[in-house]
């Protein structure tokens, strides 16, 4: 593992850690936001390209609003009206997405400095990052000790293991917010990427992108990715849910639900390069987002800009607004128990 200085924020040194496997695949991670900064994988000709959107320097991440590559928490995705009730107590949260709370608030896990530790083994390079989110931070109850471990295996798997404990009942939902373009970052839109999701249901949203509470079949809708389909093939259809999201920005309910064991949730294929990415997870849901709110103003890596739909996200997660939706899988974490979650991004080419 290689470590170098990445800049300073609030007077504190920030580092960039590069993990490499024996195939030459390389992932760079900063302890600011436990963020994936770059991920270089080969195409069918063996040519490497960086397949995640992001910035060349720390300043970009400090001011970033798109959560490029970041670890998102304490609660990933949206919570309606910026509040939730737990054990009879109402906890107000920042309304940083219209009337709603998004991705942990104004200073979520993506905007704090994590403590990094090299936990590599002879078999794989690995970086462990730890952060203590104090009781009341961004409105959440309980001192939450959070841990994210990135492991780059020699079979071109990037594994992310999340863990958390608390000293008071709280809610937790952690994800990684990388935007992918398997043709290479800055190489146009992602509409020709072919996506398959192991999800026959999704959670429709209201006008503020909060799930209405219904779990709906994808059959006969533009949300049916149960067979490999180009992302852009139906994105412009006259569909109420697509209009509300300005494209795809929805939680899909995964069919396989084997708690504790990662299952194949998604597969993406980019036909020009041949790059393929599989997503495996222990989570019950996955947010498919097509970069609808990217606007080209961000100064990305290597002088690239990121216009609308130049990257997609597959954010493994519990469902949005679960604390206010009793029928959704619970996100409550209690003292004496441990939150654990695993997501694997596996790369190949064909």
Q: Please, are residues 206 and 213 in contact by the beta-carbon 8 Å criterion?
A: no
Question: Running DSSP on this structure, what letter comes out for residue 329?
Answer: P
CA angle 299, 272, 42 (to 5 degrees): 75
Active-site residue set: 177, 315
Rounded CA gap, 199 and 249, in Å? 15
Rounded CA gap, 100 and 3, in Å? 38
Rounded CA gap, 212 and 240, in Å? 13
Q: How many H-runs (helices) and E-runs (strands) does the chain carry?
A: 2, 27
b/e map 274-302, b = 16+ CB within 10 Å: ebbbbbbbbbbbbbbbbbeebeeebebbe
SS3 state at 208:
coil
């Amino acid at each position: 593992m290689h470590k170098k200085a990445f800049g300073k924020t609030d007077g504190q040194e920030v580092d960039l850690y590069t993990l490499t496997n024996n195939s030459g695949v390389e992932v760079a991670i900063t302890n600011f936001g436990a963020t994936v900064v770059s991920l270089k994988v080969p195409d069918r000709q063996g040519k490497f390209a960086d397949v995640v959107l992001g910035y060349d320097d720390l300043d970009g991440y400090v001011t970033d609003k798109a959560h490029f590559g970041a670890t998102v928490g304490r609660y990933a995705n949206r919570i309606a009206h910026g509040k939730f009730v737990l054990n009879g107590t109402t906890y107000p949260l920042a309304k940083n997405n219209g009337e709603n709370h998004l991705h942990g608030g104004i200073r979520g896990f993506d905007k704090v400095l994590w403590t990094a530790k090299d936990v590599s083994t002879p078999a794989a390079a690995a970086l462990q990052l730890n952060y203590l989110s104090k009781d009341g931070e961004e409105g959440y109850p309980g001192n939450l000790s959070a841990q994210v471990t990135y492991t780059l295996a020699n079979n071109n798997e990037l594994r992310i293991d999340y863990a958390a404990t608390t000293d008071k009942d709280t809610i937790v939902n952690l994800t990684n917010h990388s935007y992918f373009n398997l043709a290479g970052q800055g190489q146009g839109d992602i509409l020709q990427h072919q996506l398959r999701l192991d999800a026959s249901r999704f959670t429709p949203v209201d006008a503020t992108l909060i799930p209405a509470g219904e779990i709906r079949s994808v059959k006969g809708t533009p949300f049916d990715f149960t067979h490999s389909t180009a992302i852009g093939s139906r994105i412009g259809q006259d569909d109420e849910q697509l209009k509300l999201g300005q494209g795809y920005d929805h939680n899909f309910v995964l069919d396989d639900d084997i708690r504790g064991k990662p299952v194949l949730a998604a597969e993406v294929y980019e036909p020009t390069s041949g790059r393929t990415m599989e997503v495996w997870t222990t989570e019950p849901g996955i947010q498919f987002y097509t970069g609808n709110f990217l606007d080209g103003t961000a100064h990305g890596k290597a002088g690239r800009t990121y216009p609308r739909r130049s990257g997609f996200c597959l954010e493994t997660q519990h469902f949005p607004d679960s604390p206010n939706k009793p029928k959704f899988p619970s996100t409550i974490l209690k003292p004496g128990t441990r939150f654990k979650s695993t997501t694997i991004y596996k790369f190949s080419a064909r």
